[in-house]
Amino acid sequence: MKSVLVTGANGFLGANLVEVLAGRGYRVLAGVHTPVPPILKQKVKQLEGHVSWHQLDVTQPEDWRALPVSPDGMIHAAAVTPVDERDPLGTVEVNLMGTLNGLEYALAQDIKRFIALSSASVYRDVPDGEGPLTETEPVRPIHSYGISKVAAESFVTLYRQQKGLDGCSVRMTGIYGPWERPTDARKGMSPVYQLLLAVVRGQRLRVYDAGGSGDYMHAREAARALVHLLECEKLEYDVINLSTGVSISSKRLLEAVGQVAPEAPIEWVADAHKDDADLILGPTRKGRRLSVERLAKQGFVSNLALEAGLSDYLDWLSVPEHRELIEGSSA
């Protein structure tokens, strides 16, 4: 495999995918719907592979037809992640219809491997329990985003089973790291983003622990896992969880932040003052982590320690050009 199409290539995870692929010498067709940050263009020019940027609104069939070459593989990362229900039609149009357009493109171009990004939000309303959530767990989305992802997964499975497309859906969770920033397609920022941005700003952040826990995974580690699935000899499953497989408590997360940034202006808020907190860390999926058994069977196990990931991200945030990108997005 020599060439890969990445949709949503200037988004949070898409940018990390472009970096990892170009770093491995791939020719990357980067499909984007909004302007590409100059710092991202500059960064990938320094890598071994070649990246070409192409206008691609995934909801528009004519944009798909205008792509100039047939890639060997495809990672469909384009999505919208709204924090409210103001535009469920727009969410479905991008996340479901955009995926359908991508599937049709993949069939027409005889693409050898198709990876679609899904989300652990499909598990949102899970029953109480202590065991990890496997891919066979009944899906329980409660918002249009999760519902659109469940529907998109169903079509990926349909195209795999009935049309012979070699593809799968990958359920992501707890991603943090480089290139995360507020955009029209991404409104809610990760807890790690909020914590470390407060660190580099020297801004006090009051945190309330509402029994918080989550699976936290560095974005480049997630990108490496996705590229591994792109490259592996055979996909054994049509749906795969992508996580570290480790549930991190709020206390553990704050301890790790304190280790990489001892002067972090972060303080706990007591129960009596929780309404004054800047950040509330609550449990995701009732504290149940994702099973990564399928991912391990496909040959990928995450071994990046939390402190190492946070340190890397803190270094990235400390680069002036990266800060300018984030501050501009936050304005």
**Residue 297 falls inside a structural domain:** no
**Residue 299 falls inside a structural domain:** no
The CATH number given to whatever domain includes residue 317 is: 3.90.25.10
- Classified as helix, coil or strand, 306 is helix
Q: What share of the chain is helix, strand, coil (3-state, %, to 5)?
A: 45, 20, 35
62 and 123 fall within a common domain: yes
Place of tokens 């939000």: 121
160 and 207 fall within a common domain: no
114 and 206 fall within a common domain: no
pLDDT digits (tens, 9 = 90+) for 121-143: 999 887 777 789 999 998 989 89
Rounded CA-CA distance 3/10 in Å is 17
pLDDT digits (tens, 9 = 90+) for 276-318: 999 999 887 777 899 999 999 999 999 999 999 999 999 999 9
16 and 78 fall within a common domain: yes
- Quote the tokens at residue 191: 């807890």
Residue 202: domain span: 176-215+247-287+304-326
- Please compute the mean of the pLDDT values over residues 67-76 and round it to a whole number: 94
142 and 36 fall within a common domain: yes
102 and 193 fall within a common domain: no
Query: Around Cβ 232, how many Cβ atoms within 10 Å?
Result: 13
What average pLDDT does the structure give for the chain? 93
**Residue 124 falls inside a structural domain:** yes
The per-residue pLDDT for 284 is 79
Nearest 5°: CA angle at 241, between 60 and 137?
A: 105
Q: Which residue has the higher pLDDT, 327 or 4?
A: 4
Nearest 5°: CA angle at 248, between 236 and 214?
A: 65
156 and 120 fall within a common domain: yes
The CATH number given to whatever domain includes residue 75 is: 3.40.50.720
Q: Give all strands (DSSP E) within 123-278, no chain letters.
A: 167-172, 175-176, 205-214, 217-218, 239-242, 248-249, 266-268
14 and 151 fall within a common domain: yes
Place of tokens 């397609």: 185
The per-residue pLDDT for 272 is 80
160 and 49 fall within a common domain: yes
199 and 210 fall within a common domain: yes
**Residue 293 falls inside a structural domain:** no
**For residues 112 and 87, is the Cβ–Cβ distance under 8 A?**
no
Please state the domain count of the chain. 2
pLDDT digits (tens, 9 = 90+) for 224-269: 999 999 999 999 999 999 999 999 999 999 999 999 999 889 999 9
Q: Which residue has the higher pLDDT, 210 or 297?
A: 297
- Quote the tokens at residue 108: 């027409």
Please state, in angstroms and as integers, the Cα–Cα distance from residue 120 to each residue in 126, 142, 188, 215, 231, following that order.
11, 12, 15, 10, 23
**Residue 117 falls inside a structural domain:** yes
Q: Record the pTM.
A: 0.95
Rounded CA-CA distance 114/112 in Å is 7
**For residues 208 and 268, is the Cβ–Cβ distance under 8 A?**
yes
